[in-house]
Structure 1
């Protein structure tokens, strides 16, 4: 860069910052000669040519500059300047700075070379070589650590898709090595995979455990892990998981509801009721707990409390599944209070919202029998017996239906 070199020499021979030197508005050249009267006109002309505003006016090669310097008389002022000790020191420093600048400028290119080499080695399953190249790239350009981290993160996701779970784990570990802030990203990835496999509890459990491994404070992952363990009938896992959750989030309503549902399915109704009540106190959004508690109140014969809970829950949710459950509980309570028409209306709403509400069909069959509508009753009896359900009260109602049929 002859232009920069020329300006550097002007600074050396004047000792003045170029910012303080005026410029000729017409020619665009620096007005500096009056500040370096000890410099030969020949050298001054050369420096001006090197700093010419237009590239075409500057010397076109190093050889041209050397030739012009060689024309100087041996005893010229330039010769004396060049041979002077300060000039030689300055020239050495300038040359050294140029070499260092050239090396520094080339570092990104060399780092990019190692980055590409690392990717190529990884694609060829040369993992040690890849690691070595990636590390060299980062050593030369520290900002590339984020690129390398993202690369390994994406490789881990691809390995997971191909069911190479062990390889995925290795890649995620490598990603975190270069980008420590990726632990939550890896945790969230496994959490999402757990959600995608919620109907396959064994796979879901494995993913939630991995999510927790990378983020031990993720209470949502613990909550879903407890549900997966419940589906797998691993009750030790369920209890231990809820213990951890309540240490992390003592008032998390979803977890209290989940534990209540667990106790409910085990027939531990008093413990279930306690957890449902804690969930309801913890949040106005705990409508699932409201529905669960309304059902338990009906089972215990507290029909007024069941109806009150169901009505309060219906005011707070647009969720059709929840609405169906709450209308069923409200209809159940009204049936037991002998308010048959009201009960029928609520139970029919429940079946319209959820056509697989077996418990609602069983209760409707009882109403139709009481009203003497035997044809309608038979249709509801069929639905009550044939539709799937794991609720204990449904089994009781089925037995009662069969007993009545056999008695007739």
Structure 2
């Protein structure tokens, strides 16, 4: 049996041996590649999307077909496609670059947005629990670690899921877990939710799954910690066999009463799940990578020991033990500066290898051993920022400023790092304020300070183009920087400057100037970043160049370098490439 993709078709089932729907005339070979084998959920007019298992003749996949053509739903659908293309983890369905496309059925009133993704074999945990019963404490610990690792990948890339529940988690035949249904994923930088018109008087304000959705998400204010709440509630279900809606709440604290229904659950793990499901987001774990540090038997055992040490039964500790401990710390104190320097070196090496968690541990140790060293505080701030722990980063940068008050290079570097932090949290006015503080040191003769000033001026110009639309001021700032870095061996900085200069002229409509500077930027770029290629593709498309397609492909495939505007351009690249493919 082959199904017709047309939602308006009166009879969507067709025999295997035909290529055109015998009822509505729509091609049964979607995008010249896929045949719809069977629906994976009931085909109803009420749902905003149909989901089918499909085949390309060799592999089985899943296709999601958006039936609602409102701009908000299309944007949400595009976000799901971009997210799945961007992320690379065995616990997240894979999507190939050309597997997001539009398709117009015969005599259909609009176009269908389609997303084809990896079909992950196995059962969802709701089905699995019915057949296998509740899980043990050891299995809970293993599964929790697997899912938090997936959330760490998701959150590190500025997304959160917003619909975690047993039916959205698949257990593969090898026992590994995968998270599915990214239709409600959101960018962390944009946590407000808008009402989406569905038709008639209906609205979709937020995603709600009974018993798993926290109150802040119901109120339209979902945050990454909302995922931790839903995950904690999922494990309550897996450990008790009961939906959270079937369990009572403590009338005084509001906490879910569930432990008496779970067999042989360890107290530290139960405490951890209760922390995940705390009523307020601030009382839950704040970062997935921090959760992973705690989710091992040794750490949980240590928590049990700490609970004992804090209990009323333990009244005192041996005086002899305290004296021995004090002697040990005195010896440690003498070697602190050397050990701090060693930790700093280890941390920098870990940063270069992009092992941010290891780097943070080394820098934390360095600041503990020598808390008065401004460079160590700054390095720790950078490690925190790279892990998206912005509160920690800002605290460390402020400490670094206090300690290095007389050092111009330290101040310039820290101001620059604070500016990039405010860019990450989308406070662009604050970012501009701190870039200007760096630029104020432009008269300093130290070459190292001058390089920091050049980078700050470049980013300031970037924000003038992107956020303030002040192109003439941006040209002035870039020209000043180019005068300094031109004789220097600073190809990466010059590449960024020429990219922004090309962007400015593109905004002003001077395509030839834009093309010239973007070509210079690409020539100097040793790291294959996407930005200049995205802008060049826009220029080439406007002048109808045969090289447009190649530029869009590089825009899509190269590194966005952490710049949010480039991630938006990469979405444009996907749309343009899909459109080109359909025209062929």
TM-score (norm 2): 0.38
Matched, 1:391 2:563: yes
Residue from 514, 529, 536 that aligns with 1:357 = 529
Offset from partner CA, 1:231-271 (integer Å, 9 cap, x none) = 22222211211221222234601001101101101111111
Offset from partner CA, 1:267-316 (integer Å, 9 cap, x none) = 11111111111111135522221121111111021111211222212222
Using the alignment, how far apart are the partners of 2:398 and 2:419 within structure 1? Answer: 13
**Residues 377 and 343 of structure 1, relative CA distance in 2, 3 Å threshold:** same
Q: Tell me the equivalent position of 2:184.
A: none
Q: Which runs of 5+ in 1 are unaligned?
A: 1-172
Q: Tell me the equivalent position of 1:333.
A: 504
Rg larger for: 1
**Residues 174 and 347 of structure 1, relative CA distance in 2, 3 Å threshold:** farther
Matches within 5 A, 1:155-174: none
Using the alignment, how far apart are the partners of 2:542 and 2:392 within structure 1? Answer: 46
Matches within 5 A, 1:41-80: none
Q: Tell me the equivalent position of 2:399.
A: 244
Matched, 1:289 2:442: no
1:316 is paired with a residue whose SS is helix
Offset from partner CA, 1:200-225 (integer Å, 9 cap, x none) = 11111111122222222211111111
Offset from partner CA, 1:81-136 (integer Å, 9 cap, x none) = xxxxxxxxxxxxxxxxxxxxxxxxxxxxxxxxxxxxxxxxxxxxxxxxxxxxxxxx
Residue from 380, 383, 391 that aligns with 1:225 = 380
C-alpha RMSD of matched pairs (Å): 2.6
Matched, 1:188 2:341: yes
Using the alignment, how far apart are the partners of 1:402 and 1:204 within structure 2? Answer: 35
Using the alignment, how far apart are the partners of 2:483 and 2:495 within structure 1? Answer: 13
Using the alignment, how far apart are the partners of 1:235 and 1:388 within structure 2? Answer: 22
Greater RCO, 1 or 2 (C-alpha within 8 Å, sep 6+): 2
Q: Tell me the equivalent position of 1:262.
A: 421
Q: Tell me the equivalent position of 2:516.
A: 345
Q: After TM superposition, which residue ranges in structure 1, 4 or more long, deviate above 6 angstroms?
A: 173-176
**Residues 344 and 239 of structure 1, relative CA distance in 2, 3 Å threshold:** same
Q: Tell me the equivalent position of 1:306.
A: 474
| Shift, 1:402, TM fit | 5.1
| Shift, 1:174, TM fit | 7.7
Offset from partner CA, 1:143-171 (integer Å, 9 cap, x none) = xxxxxxxxxxxxxxxxxxxxxxxxxxxxx
| Shift, 1:399, TM fit | 3.7
**Residues 398 and 235 of structure 1, relative CA distance in 2, 3 Å threshold:** closer
Range with greater deviation from structure 2 (350-359 or 361-370): 350-359
**Residues 228 and 307 of structure 1, relative CA distance in 2, 3 Å threshold:** same
**Residues 174 and 308 of structure 1, relative CA distance in 2, 3 Å threshold:** farther
Using the alignment, how far apart are the partners of 1:176 and 1:315 within structure 2? Answer: 54
Q: Tell me the equivalent position of 2:361.
A: 206
Using the alignment, how far apart are the partners of 1:314 and 1:347 within structure 2? Answer: 15
Q: Tell me if structure 2 keeps the 8 A contact 1:358–1:387.
A: yes
Residue from 372, 393, 396 that aligns with 2:544 = 372
Q: Tell me if structure 1 keeps the 8 A contact 2:534–2:570.
A: yes
- Please identify which structure carries the higher strand content: 2
| Shift, 1:175, TM fit | 11
TM-score (norm 1): 0.53
Using the alignment, how far apart are the partners of 2:339 and 2:359 within structure 1? Answer: 15
Using the alignment, how far apart are the partners of 1:210 and 1:398 within structure 2? Answer: 39
Using the alignment, how far apart are the partners of 1:362 and 1:391 within structure 2? Answer: 12
Using the alignment, how far apart are the partners of 1:303 and 1:193 within structure 2? Answer: 43
**Residues 379 and 178 of structure 1, relative CA distance in 2, 3 Å threshold:** closer
- Please identify which structure carries the higher helix content: 1
Range with greater deviation from structure 2 (363-372 or 278-287): 278-287
Q: Which runs of 5+ in 2 are unaligned?
A: 1-326, 445-449
Q: Tell me the equivalent position of 2:30.
A: none
**Residues 174 and 309 of structure 1, relative CA distance in 2, 3 Å threshold:** farther
